[in-house]
Structure 1
Amino acid sequence: MTTLEALSEAEVTEAGLTLFFKRAFIPSSLDGMGNVTVEMDSVRVTLVVDENIKLMKFMAVFGLADAAPLELKHAFVNRLNENLYFARFSVPNVRPDLLIADYWLPFEEGISVFQIISALRWFAKIVPSAIHAYDTDHLVL
């Protein structure tokens, strides 16, 4: 596989990504909701393909201290979002014990395999580093 190889728009599906990762010797699987899960640098990354808007979502979920006040969690998320532009961080209202990081990658007209691997590596490297750097209150479990 060369860095010039690409997936056509039609190949960017959960099944197509699983096959691509298998060919690239990157362990992946389909989760219970049909999304692709990849373990990279000790980070579990879920890839969700939205074929309607031609975007691929990279997502990682981390546990947060349940007893910590919501205001403290929001301040932490704000620090992350103010200082890191590659990913977006949030604490869902329905699950304030979770920190979600995500990044959206467009694939309209297809996408190079290098871009997928590069985005995955960046995401798996930068997100935990940012959490470590800005979690001054030790909220992440």
Structure 2
Amino acid sequence: MLYIDSISKGIVIDHISPGRGFRIFQYLELDKSDFTVALIMNAPSKKQGRKDVIKIENNIDLDLRVLGIIDPTVTVNIIRNEKIVEKIKLSPPEKVEGVIKCKNPRCVTSTEKNVTQSFSLLDKEELSYKCDYCDHIFNWEV
């Protein structure tokens, strides 16, 4: 059996749908970190059957909105003195700015430099968002 030590301070991103842990790991650029990070994939889970988990032994500033887009089932646990001091349950955010890029080449965000990409949630189940400028639909690939 694989054993990963508990962390004394940091963040545990838990209940990640199997296979999405690596995507979160990449998005957060944890491969470039100079602190201890563990990506556990396909760990047994009583609720989900299988899950991914990311343990970060450091306090970092996370954009929780993005995690809610990548995987709305995620729970973020804040750890201090080897104990969970805060548990944050995520869901897809209603509005997202500067995270998703519009793929419509005629969108103002594609042609103008200083326009912030802005999307509104269309469907929580499908994880689809609509560009606030051109109405282009963005579906987060599962």
TM-score, structure 2 as length reference: 0.31
Comparing both chains, which one has the higher relative contact order based on Cα–Cα distances under 8 Å and sequence gaps of 6 or more? 1
TM-score, structure 1 as length reference: 0.31
More strand by share: 2
